[in-house]
Amino acid sequence: MVRELVVATKNKKKLKEIKEILSDLNFKITSLEDYSKPPRIIENGLTFKDNAIKKAIKIARFTKKLTLGEDSGLCVDALGGKPGVYSSRFSGDRGRPRAELPEEVPSLTGRGRNARGSVRAQLGSTKDKSDQKNNLKVLKLLGEKPLSQRKANYICAAALADEKGLLGVVEGKCSGLIGFKEQGSHGFGYDPLFIIPKYKKTFAQLGEKIKHKLSHRYHALKKVKKIIQKRLFRNILRNTV
């Protein structure tokens, strides 16, 4: 019998990462792209966990299968935790409650070392236009702050549910620094800006092989694996009694 895990996403890049990290589970991993007319999910939670739980429960009820809901993003200390739950749409106001709209972004000015170069030079490696805009906004807001004041965390919340309800929710974190320009061509999102101090390189420079052993998503999904394994063990015990 082939076991299936539905990932409540249409994001192909995110799905690819999840499949690679969970490759040793021996599950058939599918997504919303594999289902006709899945319900719309409005990500209006105040936390990553809120959104992850909402995705998992709603899609599990729809598919009647084991479902993984995941929400993740970047939290920059100097920006008061922003972009946070708005990470994927940080550069736009679409779908966001008015009271939580970001402050107006200051223009990129200054003649110092860190502000040198055009916007095009700073955003040279990201192919996705929305990723480019989001990265540019973070760079603008941080301005010429020194590296010591550019601390950030990547956060990932992952929830597991079946048709009966929530099975568990976990969180993973990866700490790093925000660079002064994009570097590297791997990954997506804020990866070209997110520097891992140990390697002095961004996730986009390090590539998937290293990223998938360090990332926020790796740490969260490692915990998800334990929930799945416990569930499988309980089912085996139930069937042998």
Work out the pLDDT band at 101, boundaries 50, 70, 90: very low
pLDDT at 17 over 60: yes
Q: What is the mean pLDDT of residues 83-99?
A: 71
Which of 3-7, 107-111, 136-140 is the least confident region?
107-111
- The residues carrying an active-site annotation are 71
Residue predicted with more confidence, 25 or 71: 71
d(CA 166, CA 149): 38
Q: What is the mean pLDDT of residues 71-93?
A: 94
Q: Where are the beta strands (DSSP E) in the chain?
A: 4-7, 28-31, 67-76, 151-162, 165-178, 194-196, 201-202
Task: Determine the pLDDT at residue 239.
Answer: 60
pLDDT at 112 over 90: no
d(CA 63, CA 209): 32
Work out the pLDDT band at 1, boundaries 50, 70, 90: low
Mean pLDDT, rounded, of the chain:
86
Architecture of domain 4-240: Alpha-Beta Complex (3.90)
Q: What does the domain layout of the chain look like in residue ranges? A: 4-240
pLDDT at 117 over 50: no
pLDDT at 110 over 70: no
Q: What is the mean pLDDT of residues 1-26?
A: 92
Task: Determine the pLDDT at residue 92.
Answer: 83
pTM of the model: 0.82
Q: Which residues contact 191 (CB under 8 A, 6 or more apart)?
A: 184, 202, 203, 204, 211
Task: Determine the pLDDT at residue 232.
Answer: 79
Task: Determine the pLDDT at residue 158.
Answer: 98
